[in-house]
Amino acid sequence: MITRKPLLLSILPLLLFLAVYVPQARADTGQTDDSSISSQTTSGATGIYEVGNNFTGLMTDVQMNMNGNTGSIGDWTMAVFDMVGYTDGTYATTTGDSCVSNRNDNGATINGPFLLSGGNTSRGDGSNVPSVGFGTNGCNLQASEYYKLSISGGSTGFGGQMFFRGSSSLPSGVTSISNDFTGIAIPYFIIFGASGGFNPTPPPDTSTHIATVTPLNGSTNATSTAFTFGATGYVSPDNYISGATNVIVSFSNAGFASSQMVGPIGAELQQPDNSLTFTFPVTNSGSFSFSTTTGVQVIGNYTLKTSITVPQYTLLGFNFFTKTLAATSTVFVVATSTAFGTLQQAVAEQYQQLISTASSTIDTSVCNPISGNFNITACLIVVFGFPSQSDLNTAYNQFQTNVATHQPWGYFNRFFTILTSTGSTTLPTYTAYIGTGGSTTMDVITVDPGDMIAGAGTVLNGVVDPQNGMNIRQIMEPFVLLMVALGVLFTILADLLGSHRHNTHQQHGSKTAR
Amino acid sequence: MIFTFILNLVVTILSIIFSGLPKVTTLPTINGFDIDSTLLTGVGDLNTVFGTFWYLRDFFYGALVLLTYYGIKMLLKAVLGSRAPGLH
C-alpha cells in the first residue's frame, strides 16, 4: 500500500525556512565596515599600539617600509579613517583627501580619496616607501579627535621588517619604532590622537550596543517643557532586521515616595510605576542616534531604561515576540524647578485641589430627602465611607511635605530616602605603592573596581542565550529569588516552631531518671 | 466624608505644628563626619555593585526581611516579656 503525502506537507519545511529567513534580509548600512579590521588586531596590533604609547607630539609623517623584502607581497592598501566621535564608542566617517596629501607612493595606484597607496609592491629596498603625512598641507587635525591609520591587504603578509615612523614627534633619541611582522597576516591598524600621545584605546565596539543615553547617568537637571531624551549606539549588520529593529527609551519617576520630591501633579508620571515610552525605528544597521523632547515638570528621581529590540520570530512576514539585544538602566535627577515649572506646578496643584473638593461634595444630594435623589444606603456610604484613593494620596502628599520632612521626623525620612535611592556612584580606585628590593623607586599598582564590575556585567547581563534571547539574570534570577524566599520563610518558621532547638529540659529529666 | 474630614483635619493640624520647624534636607555632620554624604556614597556604591551582581541585592533584601523579623521579635519580647505569644 502506497501512502501519499500531501504536496503542501512535503514542501512545508521549505516554506517555513523561506518565511523565517527571507524577511530577515540585512539592509545595506552604507557605512564603512571596520569589523574585519578590529577583529584581527589581536594578532599584530600590539606593536602598533606601542607607537601610540610613545608618541608625544603631532605625527606629521608615517612611513611604511618593507626593508629586505625582495619578493612580491601582493596587493595592499593604506587607508586613513577619521575617528570623530570615537568617545561614543563608534567611529563614523572617513576623512577627506587633504589628510593624505603629503603622500609619497612612488607611482603606486591611488584608488580612492581614502586610499593612500596600493598595488603590487615588488621591492622593499627603501626606494619604494609609501608614506602618509598628517597635520600638513591643509589637513586640519583636531586635538580632541582620534584618527586611525589602517593597513590592509597582502596575500601572504609582509615579509622582512616594517616600521612606522613619526618624523618629528618621537621621543628624544628614538628615530623609529620597528616591529617585525613577518608572517603576520595584515590588516592591522594604528590609532593616534591629533594632539599627541594617549593611552591605547580599545578597538571600536562594532557589536550591538547602547553607547550613550540622554540624560546622562547620574546627571542633575531642571524641570523643562522640552526635556531631551535619546540614545546613541550601534546595531551590527548581523543583528539588524529591516523594518523591525527598534530603540526603545522609557523613563519613570522612581523616587516619587521620596519626601524630598515635590509631589507630581497632573503628569503622566504621577505614580512611580507609570512610565513614558518612546520607540525609535532603526532604519539601517550601524550607528544610530535618536532624541526627542517632552515636558518633564516633576521634580523626582527618574529611571531611564533603554533597549534595542528585534522580533523573536519572524514568520510569513509577521513578527512575534520581542527579543532584547542590548539594554541599559540609568538614573537621572530632576532637582530644581524653573520658574515656569514652579508656576505650572502651582496651577496644577490648585486645579487638583479644586477637583478633589468638587468630587467629595458631588454625591451629597443622596442625603437630601427632598432632592429627589435620596438614597439612604448611598448616603451612609458617602458620610461614613472610607476616604477615596485620591483623598488618601492628597493627605499623604501633604503629610510628606509638611510633616515628614521637618524636624524631628525629617532625619528618619532623609535616612530612608537615602536607603531607598536608586542612584549609583563610581567606585573609587585603589592605589598601592610597592618598593622593589634595593630600589629607590616605587612601583604603583592601581586597582579599579569598575573594571571588575564591567567585566562581570558583560558576563552576567551581556551574554544572551541565542535560543530564547534571555541573559543570565533573566534566566537565573527567578530561581535565586525562590531560593532566598524559601530560605527566609523556613528560617522564620523554624524559629517560630523551635524545631531547630534541643529540648534541654527533657534531656536533663531523663538523666535524672536514669 | 467624615473619615476624610478627620483625616484632613489631623494632617492639617500636624502640618500647622511641624511646618514651622526647620526642614531637613540633609543629615547632620558630627565632628566633621558628614553622615549624609557618607550614606549617599555608601548606598550609591552598593547600588553600583548590586546593579551588576544582582543576586547580591536579592540576598541583601532577604537578609533585611530576616532582620526585620528579629527586630519585631525583640520588640515584642521587650514589651510583653514572657507573655509574648509564640516566642521562645
Mean pLDDT across the stretch A404-427? 82
B3, B22, B40 ranked by CB distance to A387: nearest = B3
Contact assignment for B15 to A480 by CB distance below 8 Å: no
Whether the CA torsion A278, A281, A285, A289 is positive or negative: it is negative
Note whether A290 and A230 are within 8 A (CB). yes
Which residue of chain A has the CA closest to B57? A481
pLDDT of residue B78 exceeding 80, the answer is yes
| Cα–Cα distance measured from residue A246 to residue A229, given in angstroms and rounded to the nearest whole number | 15
Note whether A274 and A268 are within 8 A (CB). yes
**Residues in chain A within 8 Å Cβ distance of B4:** 360, 387-388, 391
Note whether A89 and A201 are within 8 A (CB). no
Contact assignment for A418 to B36 by CB distance below 8 Å: yes
| Strand-strand pairing, A220-222 and A318-336 | parallel
Mean pLDDT across the stretch A120-144? 41
> Mutate which of B7, B13, B15, B35 to test chain A, going by most A C-beta atoms within 10 A?
B7
CA atoms lying within 13 Å on the CB side of residue A239: 24
A383, A405, A492 ranked by CB distance to B2: nearest = A383
Residues 6+ apart with CB under 8 A from A80: A94, A95, A99, A100, A114, A116, A132, A147, A148, A149, A150
* Closest CA of chain B from A275, distance in Å: 20
Rounded-to-10 torsion of CA A503, A504, A507, A509: -110
| Cα–Cα distance measured from residue A119 to residue A108, given in angstroms and rounded to the nearest whole number | 6
B23, B48, B58 ranked by CB distance to A425: nearest = B48
Burial of A45 (0-12, 13-18, 19+ CB in 10 A): buried
Residue A408's pLDDT band (boundaries 50, 70, 90)? confident
How confident is the model at residue B46, as a pLDDT?
A: 85
> Mutate which of B24, B55, B76 to test chain A, going by most A C-beta atoms within 10 A?
B24
Query: In 3-state terms, what secondary structure has residue A6?
Result: coil
| Cα–Cα distance measured from residue A209 to residue A236, given in angstroms and rounded to the nearest whole number | 9
| Cα–Cα distance measured from residue B49 to residue B44, given in angstroms and rounded to the nearest whole number | 9
pLDDT digits (tens, 9 = 90+) for A377-389: 777 777 776 676 6
- Percentage of chain A lying above the pLDDT 90 cut: 2
How confident is the model at residue A228, as a pLDDT?
A: 84
How confident is the model at residue A205, as a pLDDT?
A: 61
How confident is the model at residue A501, as a pLDDT?
A: 66
pTM: 0.35
Note whether A75 and A154 are within 8 A (CB). yes
Contact assignment for A488 to B66 by CB distance below 8 Å: yes
Q: What secondary structure letter does DSSP report for A411?
A: H
The C-alpha cell at A336 is 530644581
Residues 6+ apart with CB under 8 A from A31: A92, A284, A286, A287
A391 near B CB under 8 A: yes
pLDDT digits (tens, 9 = 90+) for A327-344: 888 878 776 655 555 555
Mean pLDDT across the stretch A191-204? 40
Residue that wins the pLDDT comparison between A418 and A63: A418
B64 near A CB under 8 A: no
| Strand-strand pairing, A224-235 and A286-296 | antiparallel
CA atoms lying within 13 Å on the CB side of residue A267: 31
pLDDT digits (tens, 9 = 90+) for A468-480: 777 787 888 888 8
| Cα–Cα distance measured from residue A274 to residue A157, given in angstroms and rounded to the nearest whole number | 59
Note whether A65 and A123 are within 8 A (CB). no
In the block, residue with C-alpha cell 523561506 = A18
pLDDT of residue A120 exceeding 50, the answer is no
pLDDT averaged over every residue in chain A: 59
Query: In 3-state terms, what secondary structure has residue A414?
Result: helix
In the block, residue with C-alpha cell 448616603 = A379
pLDDT of residue A301 exceeding 70, the answer is yes
Residue A43's pLDDT band (boundaries 50, 70, 90)? very low
Helix (H) or strand (E) holding A212: strand A209-214
Mean pLDDT across the stretch A227-243? 84
CA-based end-to-end distance of chain A? 87
Contact assignment for B7 to A491 by CB distance below 8 Å: no
How confident is the model at residue A444, as a pLDDT?
A: 79
| Cα–Cα distance measured from residue A152 to residue A78, given in angstroms and rounded to the nearest whole number | 6
| Strand-strand pairing, A275-281 and A246-253 | antiparallel
**Residues in chain B within 8 Å Cβ distance of A476:** 55
The C-alpha cell at A43 is 594578532
Q: Establish whether this prediction's ipTM goes over 0.85.
A: no
Exposure string of B23-59, with b = 16+ CB inside 10 Å and e = fewer, is ebebbeeeeeeebbeebbeebbbbbbbbbbbbbebbe
* Closest CA of chain B from A416, distance in Å: 10
Note whether A200 and A193 are within 8 A (CB). no
Query: In 3-state terms, what secondary structure has residue A500?
Result: coil
How far is residue B41 from each of residues A419, A462, B37, B50, B53, measured CA to CA in Å? 11, 26, 6, 14, 18
Mean pLDDT across the stretch A434-445? 71
User: What one-character-per-residue DSSP string does A313-379 give?
Assistant: EEETTEEEEEEEEEEEEEEEEEEE--HHHHHHHHHHHHHHHHHHHHHHHTTGGGG-TTSS---HHHH
| Cα–Cα distance measured from residue B14 to residue B17, given in angstroms and rounded to the nearest whole number | 5
* Closest CA of chain B from A403, distance in Å: 5
How confident is the model at residue A483, as a pLDDT?
A: 92
In the block, residue with C-alpha cell 515635590 = A262
How confident is the model at residue A449, as a pLDDT?
A: 82
Note whether A423 and A333 are within 8 A (CB). yes
- Percentage of chain A lying above the pLDDT 70 cut: 42
The C-alpha cell at A39 is 577583529
| Cα–Cα distance measured from residue A394 to residue A514, given in angstroms and rounded to the nearest whole number | 71
User: What one-character-per-residue DSSP string does A225-274 give?
Assistant: EEEEEEEEEEE-TTT--TTT-EEEEEEEETTTT-TTSPPP-SSTTSSTT-
Note whether B87 and B73 are within 8 A (CB). yes
Q: What secondary structure letter does DSSP report for A427?
A: P
Q: Which amino acid is at A67?
A: N
